Amino acid sequence: MMQKHTSPAKGAGAPLNFVIVTMDGHFGAAVERAQAELAAEMPGLLLKVHSADEWASDPKALEACKADIATGDIIVSAMLFLDDHVRMVKPALDARRPHCTAMVGMMSAGEVVKLTRLKKFDMSAEATGVLGLLKKLRGSKGPRSSGKGQMKMLKEMPKLLRFIPGVAQDVRTYMLCLQYWIAGSSENLANMVRLLSSRYAEAPVAKPAAPIEYPDVGLYHPRMESRFSDNVAQLPAKGSAGRVGLLVLRSYVLAGNAGHYDGVINEFEKRGYDVVPAFASGLDQRPAIEQFFMKDGRATVDAVVSLTGFSLVGGPA
């Protein structure tokens, strides 16, 4: 039987410890902007991010992460799929789970996802009824199109679940958290904090907006009006020395952590190259290559440079 949490509801101005544990720190700038946006609404908010690219190799950083988990009111764990990372923090997550206000595990190893507890929604319990819907969001070994189906379901199900009372509302909250995280701009992260804080800590915050949607496959350029597009003609620079297809990570550009990409784009353009910076959702870059670097089966670029740090077909995933 699930233990009842002991954390009290948070009133206006009361400290609220919101802890995010994740794989790397590329969301850091977006989280800082989100905290600045939330400062007026939640003056007692303590929004902390601990990333494995720091605590996995630094004992002091690991102890700081564990200390914040031990006092966290709302704890979100995301992108923890490497065994070493999971082993380092899971005991602390296990110990805090019965006592925190809410715990969310997403896009992580199964043992981390099962720690999710949102009121009566307990991912460690057998998935029956509306909970069984989440099974369809798990990865499969099928064709690439299955990922599109999962994303479509993730976007549509919260619209249906809003009309079902009870635990379905907590399942809906979980799905919305996934949407906020996958499209992790500062606006979406701020609304994820609002959603979890208002529903589970009763924090007096503005009503969270629906997740902002961004292209799953698209183009990025720091000088485009909206920074994102699906139309090559909207890219600002047209060089004559050649055309370079540049692969970047969608999550980095959405989080506003794209200074390294901007530098490469600028250097290529200074040398007269036409640059096509493209991204795809996740780690499989083939959709971006097929849509923006090819036409009728033939390459439309002279060279491809990948700045993703992963193989073209999914890296460790």
Cα end-to-end span (Å), the chain: 34
Amino acid in position 71 = T
Is the fold of 16-200 the same as that of 217-306? yes
Please report which confidence band the pLDDT of residue 163 belongs to, taking 50, 70 and 90 as the band edges.
low
Decide: 10 and 197 in contact? Cβ < 8 Å. Answer: yes
Task: State the average pLDDT over residues 274-278.
Answer: 95
**pTM score, two decimals?**
0.82
What is d(CA 212, CA 193) in angstroms, rounded to the nearest whole number? Answer: 14
Half-sphere exposure in the Cβ direction for 221 (13 Å, CA): 23
Determine the Cα angle at 113 with ends 24 and 110, to 5°: 95
Span 100-124, pLDDT tens digits: 999 999 999 999 999 999 998 998 8
Structure tokens that stand for 52 in this block: 């494995």
Residue type, 203: A
Residue 309 in tokens: 């740090």
Pick 217-306's CATH classification: 1.20.120, 3.40.50, 3.90.930, 1.20.1340: 3.40.50
**Which residues make beta-bridge pairs with 305?**
246
Question: What single-letter DSSP state applies at residue 310?
Answer: S
CA dist 108 and 22 (Å) reads 9
- The structural domains of the chain, with segments of one domain joined by +, span 16-200, 217-306
HSE at residue 312, side-chain half, CA atoms within 13 A, is: 11
Q: What is the pLDDT of residues 218-258, one digit of tens each?
A: 999 999 988 888 889 899 877 788 999 999 999 899 988 89
Tell me the average pLDDT across 34-41: 90
Q: What is the mean pLDDT of residues 136-164?
A: 61
Per the structure block, which two tokens stand in for 287?
């959709």
Residue 119: both structure tokens together:
């009121």
**Would you say 276 and 232 are in contact if contact means Cβ atoms under 8 Å apart?**
yes
How far apart, in whole angstroms, are the C-alpha atoms of residue 48 and residue 34? 11
- What are the structure tokens assigned to 105, written together? 């595990």
For the ranges 23-37, 89-103, 152-166, 272-286, the one whose mean pLDDT is highest: 89-103
Report the pLDDT value the prediction gives residue 236, as an integer from 0 to 100: 86
DSSP, collapsed to helix, strand or coil, labels residue 8 as coil
| Measured distance CA(174)–CA(172) in Å, rounded | 5
Cα torsion at 164, 169, 174, 176 (round to 10°)?
A: 70
**Lowest model confidence (mean pLDDT) among 122-126, 186-190, 208-212:** 122-126
DSSP alpha helix (H) spans, the chain: 28-38, 52-55, 59-71, 83-96, 110-113, 145-161, 168-182, 186-200, 250-254, 259-270, 286-292
Q: At the top level of CATH, which class does the domain 16-200 belong to?
A: alpha beta
CA distance 210 to 97: 27
Burial readout 212-222 (b: 16 or more C-beta within 10 A, e: otherwise) = eebebbbbbbe
- pLDDT band at 26; cut points 50, 70, 90: confident
Answer whether 56's CB lies under 8 Å from 85's CB: yes
